[in-house]
Amino acid sequence: MSRTGWFETVAEAQRRARKRLPKSVYSALVAGSEQGLSIDDNVAAFGELGFAPHVANLSAKRDLSTTIMGQQISLPVIISPTGVQAVHPDGEVAVARAAAARGTVVGLSSFASKPVEEVCAANPQTFFQMYWVGTRERMIERMERARSAGASGLIVTLDWSFSNGRDWGSPAIPEKMDLRAMARFAPEGLMRPRWLLDFAKTGKVPDLTTPNLARPGETPPTFFGAYGEWMGTPLPTWEDVAWLREQWGGPFMLKGIMRVDDAKRAVEAGVSAISVSNHGGNNLDGTPAPIRVLPAIAAAVGDEVEIVLDGGIRRGSDVVKAVALGARAVMIGRAYLWGLAAGGQAGVENVLDILRGGIDSAILGTGHSSIHDLTADDLIIPPGFTR
């Protein structure tokens, strides 16, 4: 990306994504279910937390590196899996390359548009994400495919309650991008010529299939075909979670924990990590921001399992707040999707650089030399903040 393509904040990446993408694609990124209570709280909650900075005896050097599920990462930020398609022709491969270039892990959704083999080749630090979809046999096949491709961890996301109403109106996403659908989208595409041009240069229309849910040689199901299989799958129990973890055998993250009792059950099921998450406010609306429940969960299971937080991270200081309240690292969703829309791989690298700079600045201000030294004492937490 040329210097002129560089952006200074995630808010600017979002503005560029809005300008560049067709309305329906941009709306699918913003998402947020029902009234949007959760998505709004995810961002607002970070704004309620303040810092208590020092001014002298500050550290000239700051260490931002850590590990997550056995992977060394250069900053406490990893890429959260998102099953969003048609943002950029290089899609998840561009995101994987950007994460590799910046020394961090990429999470790959099983609803993604690129095969897990291509993503692992772009970044060996790949965690493959699965929902509880299909028969046990199919789940093992998909998991084994990711393992053979070289995935170094599994993320299992359980927080989904098939809520489908949005007060602001759900975007119309076609079953597949054939010529008829392109024609229907044409007026939107014409208003966003650069997005259309990016795809035109590749000679392909946006891919709305899910290659990681197909058997080798099988035609990949469409996004909605896969969603239908998911809706028809009997819902998992804690025994099912323990079974899946056993089948995988390697580093295993359970994503979507919002309660202390569930965090304890996840530990009993033998998981290596949990993500305190409300699915970026896309699931059960009215679920509070994960940062509000993080302190209680960290106090209960922080010594037994690695804790990650996702939801609402827009700047480096948000990352520092989460780490101060007990997260080992955070995952980002929309921030990198906006970067991807704004500038492809370079846009995602730009977002990771913005976060790195913000983390470094907040660690400097709080007088530490390492992210591992952060505690709740570095923050000003208003009464009633936690849930």
Ligand X SMILES: Cc1cc2nc3c(=O)[nH]c(=O)nc-3n(C[C@H](O)[C@H](O)[C@H](O)COP(=O)(O)O)c2cc1C
Binding site for ligand X (CB under 6 A): 28-29, 31, 42, 80-84, 109, 111, 129, 157, 255, 277, 279-280, 282, 310-313, 332-335
Minimum distance from residue 3 beta carbon to ligand X (Å):
27
Q: How far is the CB of 125 from ligand X (least distance, A)?
A: 17
Q: Counting Cβ atoms within 10 Å, is residue 41 exposed (0-12), middle (13-18) or buried (19+)? A: buried
The rounded distance, in Å, linking the Cα atoms of 336 and 349 is 8
Side chain identity at residue 90, one-letter code: D
Residue 231: exposed, middle, or buried by beta-carbon count in 10 A (0-12, 13-18, 19+)? exposed
Other C-beta atoms closer than 10 Å to the C-beta of 267 total 16
- Amino acid occupying residue 344: G
Task: Decide if 340 contacts 286 (C-beta within 8 A).
Answer: no
> How far is it, in rounded angstroms, from Cα 111 to Cα 101?
24
* Catalytic site residue from 54, 88, 279, 372: 279
| 54 counts as catalytic | no
112 versus 196: smaller Cβ distance to ligand X: 112
Helix (H) or strand (E) segment spanning residue 99? helix 91-101
* Minimum CB–partner distance for residue 53 and ligand X (Å): 25
**Closest CB to ligand X among 284 and 335?**
335
The nearest distance, CB 43 to ligand X, in angstroms, is 7
Q: Which is nearer to ligand X, 185 or 338 (CB)?
A: 338
Q: Which is nearer to ligand X, 28 or 301 (CB)?
A: 28
- Cα separations (Å) of 63 from 32, 69, 182, 333? 35, 19, 48, 24
Q: Are strands 273-276 and 252-257 parallel, antiparallel or unpaired?
A: parallel
Q: Which residue is nearest to ligand X (CB)?
A: 333
Among residues 73 and 368, whose Cβ is nearest to ligand X?
73
> Which residues are catalytically annotated?
279
